[in-house]
Amino acid sequence: MDIKKIREDFPILNRKIRGKTLVYLDNAATTQKPRQVIEALVDFYQNHNANIHRGVHTLSDEATSMVEESRIKTAAFINAPKPETVIFTRNATEAINLVAHSWARKFLKAGDEIVLTEMEHHSNLVPWQMLAAEKQVVLRHIPMTPEGTLDLEAGRKLITAKTKLVSFTAASNALGTLIPVEKIISLAKVAGAKTLVDASQWAPHRALDVVKWDCDFLAFSAHKMLGPTGVGVLYGKEALLEDMDPFLGGGDMISRVQLDRFTPNVLPFKFEAGTPNIADEAAFGQALDYLSAIGLDAIAAHEAALTKKAIETLSALPGVTIYGPKDISQRGGVVSFNVDGLHPHDVGTALDLEGVAVRAGHHCCQPLMNKLKTPGTARASFYIYNTFEEVEALGKALDKAIAFFMKKPAAVR
């Protein structure tokens, strides 16, 4: 990877924040966009803007082709058997809610169990809590070990014949923990349960293969992988999607409508009611091209090196606690930390004064934070354009903040 050349594709990295060059380390929340994606958005609105699937004129044909090309690229990116099994949504949250509404509400009954984990983002907790309240479905949670990994032995006991769905993150957005996806799916299959993988923090960083994993559903978001906001992806096995009812009603999700009834459209349009986020779906294809050209293995290796350096750098500072697995091979490019005596929001604000952007808070993982006995953490997260010099800048900025708040000399000069 030629990081210098890659950085030239991201105009925002030239910004100055309070007179200092931006160090953007909030990639788990959203990534920056390369000029190729930005230019694709501009090109769409300048040259191809039209509604899709329903027009017969040239612009509509062009716009339709651009969106469907992105669907084909998405299917190839995750090795989906057919592009028709790729549903475009607004985000991963909507994708998970789609499964909760259209599959779980139709097929689950009172007393059935859904197994989640203690590491889940609220997007993979709240939809199932809403379902449990409505349908009297029982929720179980695979516990997290003190090391920040999943207790697979406990999971083996929790996943039983009563389990109808195992829904879990492939990588923790709060700790960076990489989950043994295939092992959990194997446990679910033995019990006859369906699986949903939240790949929001996996798909941007490492290769995935839905055929190899043999997952039933998979969700992720474009904006976390160089793509525009407002685009999510739901993959589902074709037979399951065919059996599900539409999520929303309206235009484009029908093949025929009469005053008293309707016939749903074929996949994937059955789940894509109304005018979609056309320009952003079209531009998402450019993001996938960009990542594929670099290679997911190279991206994962680069992030692992940055993460190792960040842990070493922050561990050398006084009063810093780092959360998550100590084994680098078990974690992605996320380093969550706290400083003794300081609220994570104060840490995040102090780092911003030095031009370093990190996340601070509970990261939409309040149950996990409760388990850690902290209201939140500061979180640095890395991507393809980050450098070792930026990790050093993070360390120096944090050291300066600790010295200011603790009224002690800085350890790093």
Active-site residue numbers?
364
Contact 31, 226 (CB under 8 A): yes
Rounded CA-CA distance 309/392 in Å is: 9
Rg (CA), the chain: 22
Q: What is the largest CA-CA distance in the chain?
A: 76
Rounded CA-CA distance 92/6 in Å is: 27
Per-residue b or e along 350-375, where b marks 16 or more CB atoms closer than 10 Å to that residue's CB:
bbbebbbbbbbbbbbbebbbeebebe
Question: How far is CA 321 from its chain centroid?
Answer: 25
Rounded CA-CA distance 312/388 in Å is: 12
Rounded CA-CA distance 239/220 in Å is: 21
DSSP string, 307-365: HHHHHHHHHTSTTEEEES-SSGGGB-SEEEEEETT--HHHHHHHHHTTTEE-EEE-TT-
State how far the alpha carbon of 37 is from the alpha carbons of 68, 214, 221, 259, 286, in Å. Answer: 17, 31, 15, 43, 6
Rounded CA-CA distance 363/380 in Å is: 12
**Element containing residue 155 per DSSP (H, E):** helix 152-158
